[in-house]
Amino acid sequence: MAYLRFAGAVVFAALLSAPLAPAFAQDASQEASQEASQDSAGDVTPDMDFTAAKAAADADEASLAPDARAATLDRQRAFLDAGVAACADLQSTAQLQDFVVVVRLDASGTVMRTWRRGDSPLALCIERHSRGKVMFVPPKAPFHASLEVTFEP
């Protein structure tokens, strides 16, 4: 069992039986500079690190109107749920650690690039699972979004 912090509220979730939901980080000072990325052809910012990608995601997400933000959050939840369903097993959940995966979406909503903070097996799998998948059609391209998962004992 794990606690998941989502948008400031603590939600009780059993990892393998309840879906996880993304939360948007509010404190940029907590962001580490660790980077794991997938390059894509024609990437205009091949040297963007995790911190810059997370800042871009925070800005893009904040630019959404309230209704669009709610719809985007629903799509991100579904996207993360699918990743957890594909990744959660006894090996990947043996070491539950907080993680963030930032994605860059193209005009069709396909994940073209990822950055990750956190090295747990679940974080690595969620990042791998995200690549090349459609998250949602963004209002502009490129659009950055983040999936942040926090576990509390």
Residue written as token pair 């959940």: 93
Would you state the pLDDT for residue 95? 82
Establish if 71 belongs to a structural domain.
yes
Establish if 81 belongs to a structural domain.
yes
Establish if 21 belongs to a structural domain.
no
- Say how many domains are in the chain: 1
Establish if 112 belongs to a structural domain.
yes
Establish if 87 belongs to a structural domain.
yes
Q: What is the mean pLDDT of each run of 10 residues along the chain (153 residues)?
A: 30 34 33 36 67 97 96 96 91 88 98 97 96 97 96 84
Would you state the pLDDT for residue 92? 79
The pTM of the full predicted model, rounded to 2 decimals, is 0.72
Would you state the pLDDT for residue 45? 58
Would you state the pLDDT for residue 31? 33
Would you state the pLDDT for residue 4? 35
Range of the domain at 101: 27-147
Establish if 130 belongs to a structural domain.
yes
DSSP 8-state secondary structure symbol assigned to residue 49: -
> Who's near 62: CB < 8 A, 6+ residues apart?
none
Could you tell me if residue 143 is left (phi over 0), alpha (psi between -120 and 50 degrees) or otherwise beta? beta
Chain centroid to CA 111: how far? 11
